[in-house]
Structure 1
Amino acid sequence: MLETTRGRDVGAVLRDGDVAALSASPGPLLDPVEVDVLAPVTGGKVVAIGLNYLDHVRESGMEPPAAPLVFAKFPSSIVGPGTAIRIDRAITQRVDWEVELAVVIGRTATRVSVEQALDHVFGYTVANDVSARDVQFGDGQWVRGKSLDTFCPVGPAVVTPDELGDPQRLALRTRVNGHTMQDSNTSEMVFGVAELIARCSHSFTLEPGDLLLTGTPWGCGEFMDPPQHLRDGDVVEVEVEGIGCLTNPVEEITA
């Protein structure tokens, strides 16, 4: 399990090719209460997948996609554990949560097969694909509504494949103010991790340090009756089995 290495995040180390640094001594242990825990991966591409859970497809009333629905989040949206998700009310009124298993690419992947795809994974972390639904649907494409500043919390750590095991057998959950909103399993994915990597790599190169967000299950606030959205003072917890819990408060910007 890795967070940062010698002041650099895991993604930067992978992009530099200094993989040996990831096994170096991490130095003295720090009290997480007394330090700011940063996102373990920043700076690379953030590739995301929509409608990739059968239970989420059902709740949204759409048909399962025939191919992965690929979009991007800007790297500038990444924040770490404990950092506030900041909502600008001049831009959006309908901000939603999305727990996701995130894949950290460790080796360059270009036109790889499904059978070889997992060999290109360095590790896994947790992401919250925070979404401004009114912007997302109003724009007619998803990038801006998914990429507002602070809208991609990542962490709390990166877990390597040998530690995590089968990525298609992991429980994942969201809690808002202690109330469970999402509770599912990665076995519900329409396209598994290996197939996502393979399909994406045939369209564009995945590079060391890139993040691949693999989709979210049922329980998004936008599709509840009545809809529920994040508000000032909320606390959002997203967790994936075997990796940990990523917690972020919510803060509204009114001026």
Structure 2
Amino acid sequence: MHVVLTSAGIGRIEGGAIAVLDTPYPDPGALIEATGSLDALATARVVRRIPLDGDQGLLAPLVRPRALWGVGLNYHSKAEKTGRPVPSEPVLYLAAPSSVSGPGASVRLPAEETAEMDYEAEIALVIGRTLDRAAERDAWPAVAAVTAANDLTARDVMKRTSAPVLAKSFPGFTALGGSLLSLDEIADPGAIGVRSWVGGERRQDCTGADMIFAIPELLARISRYAALRPGDVVLTGTPAGTGQDRGEFLRPGDTVRVEIDGVLPLTTRVHA
């Protein structure tokens, strides 16, 4: 099932249009927190249909995640490009949920704090069932949905403060969307494609097969230290090709497009 959030409410994508649904939940995140999945939307009554026109009218499908987890250096290609050793443990951090923005959002470059605003295309996971010291075999079935993320990062803030939470928590820096994809639509969680473009130029093109810590292992490892709860979001790292790798950072007027297999494209625009 392919789910979006619009100003008219939660919708399913059907036949190239959005079927707006009769549901008491204000957004898919609230539904997942309450029920653990998107399943209730499969049989929800359609109240009207509206055109699907790119990212026009789409909102962040997860308005305010309970927790927003990220992992640094989780692709072999990224480690090779930067010359850094492959980590033996995931490099984990939390970002402020207030940093979430949606598809088509215009995000301010905070020039007073950073000259190195960077893009990171990532597979994002929405947790549906509690994971607490979970086994790897139980991790993937506990995911409620997959979406796209652009994990924007102020690289110089990261270096200056050694605090990922500060480098990644500026308003709009965690772009999510444009849709949520339920697990029944994903044949192989280890082969999900992730790509990015800046101004129409492809910058990243990889799959989850290149991850250092595959999705089940990553979730199980996080759950050793902190329980993952329904509604939490886990970003799974970015492959090589970021601005950091190229020595070329985002500027006002740039447009970043992120694609995750099966998910509607996620576009972010940068303004001064």
Same fold by TM (over 0.5)?
yes
Matched, 1:39 2:60: yes
CA contact (8 A) 2:36 2:144 kept: no
Query: Residue 18 and residue 165 in structure 1: after superposition, are their counterparts in 2 closer, same or farther (change >3 A)?
Result: closer
Distance, in Å, in 1 between the alignment partners of 2:131 and 2:93 is 18
1:201 aligns with 2:223: yes
Residues 108-148 of structure 1, C-alpha deviations (whole Å, 9 max, x = no match): 11111001111201110000000000101110121100111
Q: Which amino acid aligns with 2:265?
A: C
The equivalent residue for 1:137 is 159
RMSD: 1.6
Q: Amino acid of the residue matched to residue 163 of structure 2? A: Q
Which of 18, 24, 41 is equivalent to 1:22? 41
1:156 maps to which residue? Answer: 178
TM-score (normalizing by structure 1): 0.93
CA drift of 1:16 comes to 2.5
Q: d(CA) in 1 for partners of 2:114 and 2:52? A: 32
CA distance in 2, matches of 1:80, 1:74: 15
Report which stretch shifted further, 210-219 or 193-202: 193-202
Aligned residues: 250
Q: Is the 8 A contact 2:120 2:151 kept in 1?
A: yes
SS in 2 for 1:159: strand
Of 114, 137, 140, the residue aligned with 1:115 is 137
8 A contact 2:125–2:235 mirrored in 1? yes
Of the three residues 177, 190, 193, the one matched with 1:168 is 190
Letter in 2 for 1:16: A
Q: Secondary structure in 2 aligned to 1:2?
A: strand
Deviation at 1:101, TM superposition (A): 0.4
**Residues 18, 184 of structure 1: CA spacing in aligned structure 2 closer, same or farther, 3 A cutoff?**
closer
Compare relative contact order (CA 8 Å, sep 6+) and give the higher one, 1 or 2.
1
Going by fraction, where is strand more abundant, 1 or 2? 2
Q: Does the C-alpha gap of structure 1 residues 26 and 69 become closer, same or farther in structure 2, counting only changes over 3 Å?
A: farther
Identity %: 35
1:8 paired with 2:51, answer no
Question: Greater CA deviation, 181-190 or 34-43?
Answer: 34-43
Structure 1 pair 182/45, CA: closer, same or farther in 2 (3 Å)?
same
C-alpha displacement of 1:171? 1.9
Q: Identify which of 203, 207, 211 aligns with 1:181.
A: 203
Q: Is 2:260 the counterpart of 1:240? A: yes
Per the TM alignment, residue 18 of structure 1 is displaced from its structure 2 partner at its CA by 7.6
Question: Which amino acid is 1:52 matched to?
Answer: N
TM-score normalised by L of structure 2:
0.88
1:113·1:198 contact (CA, 8 Å) conserved in 2?
A: yes
Report the counterpart of residue 75 of structure 1 in structure 2. 97
Report the Cα distance in structure 2 between the residues aligned to 1:22 and 1:180, rounded to whole angstroms: 34
**How far apart are 1:22 and its partner, in Å?**
2.7
Deviation at 1:235, TM superposition (A): 0.8
